[in-house]
């Protein structure tokens, strides 16, 4: 009887050790997957772009609204690059405005994607007489004089149409630029159809700043777990939420380029630059 008890104990101990070994192996596999999941590509074309300071939505103030021609002109005159936001209109044109709706930025209401470019250019920005510019107007203004970080503002399932139209406008443009988006579908489309274009994944801590997505998607977006599929050349992360393991691995292990938004004072700017982030600033001049 004692022999059977000993045998059973040995079997149970072996099974326990096997279970522990399986758990450790699974943990190691998940850790390895995680390390490689956040890896993008390191594109040397970013070298020139990283030497600039970028005015978020142009160099705007009370007289020069965000994403306006006057804000872009001011940035250009001061020697800054710009970050700007692109939407696709109902009539397949491209306009520069941040929000999908008009309420905050203009004296009108409505949804950008449901209006024509002619209708949108009747809307005045920020209590001024300035109107929503087209992407073509901004390209003509910059004409290669300073680089642009172009955010693709997709909505619904228009990511392919939006990306294609932006690339159509950029086809003969000789200046420096890169494209970025919160929507991984935009990066997927760029990777497949425009692999040589510099592309960036925008991100934030979606576990703190909750969006209308399931928890697992917010987790994946926060920690950029789709990078291995869509291979961004850089990441652009909210400054306040930048300290997480994924950003450490992306920047220190994989040596990817990274931009920090939005830097709203000199102290944050100095911190971001000292840490090696490409600065995107607003509300002051560094």
User: Residues 48, 60, 98, 100: which is the catalytic one?
Assistant: 98
245 phi/psi in degrees, rounded to 5: -65, -35
Helix axes 159-170, 184-193, angle to 10 degrees: 50
Torsion of CA 256, 261, 264, 268, to 10 degrees: -30
Concerning whether 56 is annotated as a catalytic residue, the answer is: yes
User: Residues 56, 60, 87, 189: which is the catalytic one?
Assistant: 56
Concerning whether 98 is annotated as a catalytic residue, the answer is: yes
Q: Beta strands 94-96 and 81-88: pairing type?
A: antiparallel
SS (H, E, C) 112-166: HHHCCHHHHCCCEECCCCCECCEHHHHHHHHCCCCCEEEEECCCCCCHHHHHHHH
Q: How far is CA 144 from CA 4, 82, 176, 197, in A?
A: 83, 12, 6, 16
Q: What residues are labeled active site?
A: 56, 98
């Amino acid at each position: 009887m004692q022999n059977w008890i000993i045998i059973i104990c040995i079997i149970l101990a072996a099974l326990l050790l096997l279970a522990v070994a399986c758990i450790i192996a699974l943990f190691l596999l998940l850790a390895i997957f995680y390390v490689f999941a956040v890896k993008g590509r390191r594109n040397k074309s970013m070298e020139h772009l990283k030497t600039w300071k970028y005015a978020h939505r142009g160099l705007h103030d009370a007289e020069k609204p965000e994403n306006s021609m006057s804000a872009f002109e001011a940035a250009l005159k001061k020697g800054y690059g710009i970050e700007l936001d692109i939407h696709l209109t109902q009539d397949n044109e491209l306009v520069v405005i941040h929000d999908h709706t008009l309420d905050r930025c203009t004296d009108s209401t409505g949804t950008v994607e449901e209006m024509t470019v002619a209708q949108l250019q009747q809307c005045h920005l920020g209590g001024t007489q300035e109107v929503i510019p087209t992407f073509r107007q901004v390209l003509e203004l910059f004409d290669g004089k300073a680089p642009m970080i172009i955010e693709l503002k997709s909505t619904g399932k228009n990511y392919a149409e939006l990306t294609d139209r932006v690339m159509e406008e950029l086809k003969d443009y000789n200046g420096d630029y890169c494209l970025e988006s919160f929507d991984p579908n935009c990066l997927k489309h760029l990777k497949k159809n425009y692999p040589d274009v510099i592309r960036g994944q925008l991100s934030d801590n979606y576990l703190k700043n909750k969006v209308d997505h399931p928890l697992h998607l917010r987790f994946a977006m926060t920690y950029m777990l789709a990078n291995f599929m869509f291979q961004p050349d850089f990441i652009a992360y909210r400054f306040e939420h930048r300290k997480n393991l994924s950003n450490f691995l992306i920047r220190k292990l994989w040596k990817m380029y990274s931009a920090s938004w939005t830097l709203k004072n000199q102290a944050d700017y100095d911190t971001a630059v000292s840490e090696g982030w490409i600065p995107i600033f607003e509300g002051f001049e560094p």
